[in-house]
Chain A
């Protein structure tokens, strides 16, 4: 079983739609959860950071972590064409000693005008 699984998509939605992206994981030691956005041939850019379980909201973005189900989600409200990118989930264990991030495959999102 892969440590982090993420449906690669592609996911295509009309402008204004609510987008739901998610990842599952197997390592119960993961405590820190991030969502990065990556444009083609660019570096990952941090969108959301969550520690342990719960929700976090930032503008049109909401991140949810359900540690009991080993499942994390990113919701994008009122999606825009500029949101078209690849979204990567990333996780780190609770020791945090080295900060090694384990990434999902990434989901490619296209928002059509």
Chain B
């Protein structure tokens, strides 16, 4: 069964460092998403991406964040200068473009900013 794959499963970084979280969405999907879940809190939408551009972003997704689809299979989230409060689980999700509204989630990357 196709699945969304995220790497690494756990990323530890120092405050101020740049991190890149990687995702391989399901191969025939056209819409891609990043969500964040701070420990003990709800899953929050960060950004949606379609046709090689951001279609919507939340107020959390400020200038420190960027997304990219560098090739036909990967979808990345970059945080330029990490803060302590960026520590969270980051989930990638994808869905088809043909009338499909179901998003499939990856297992997540746990980001720990020290």
Identify the A interface with B (CB < 8 A): 32, 34, 36, 41-46, 49, 51, 88, 90, 92, 96-106
Does B105 sit at the interface, judged by CB under 8 A? yes
Q: A41-B89, A41-B110, A46-B102 given as contacts; is B43 within 8 A of A99 (CB)?
A: no
User: Smallest distance from the beta carbon of B103 to chain A beta carbons, Å?
Assistant: 6
User: Smallest distance from the beta carbon of B64 to chain A beta carbons, Å?
Assistant: 20
Q: Is chain B's binding surface mostly helix, strand, loop or mixed?
A: strand
Q: Given the complex, which residues of A lie within 8 Å of B50, measured CB to CB?
A: 98
Q: Known contacts A44-B43, A101-B43, A106-B42; can you find 5 more A-B pairs with CB under 8 A?
A: A42-B108, A43-B4, A96-B101, A98-B50, A103-B43
Q: A42-B108, A43-B107, A49-B102 given as contacts; is B42 within 8 A of A99 (CB)?
A: no
Does B75 sit at the interface, judged by CB under 8 A? no
Identify the B interface with A (CB < 8 A): 4, 6, 31, 33, 35, 41-45, 48, 50, 55-56, 89, 91, 95, 101-108, 110
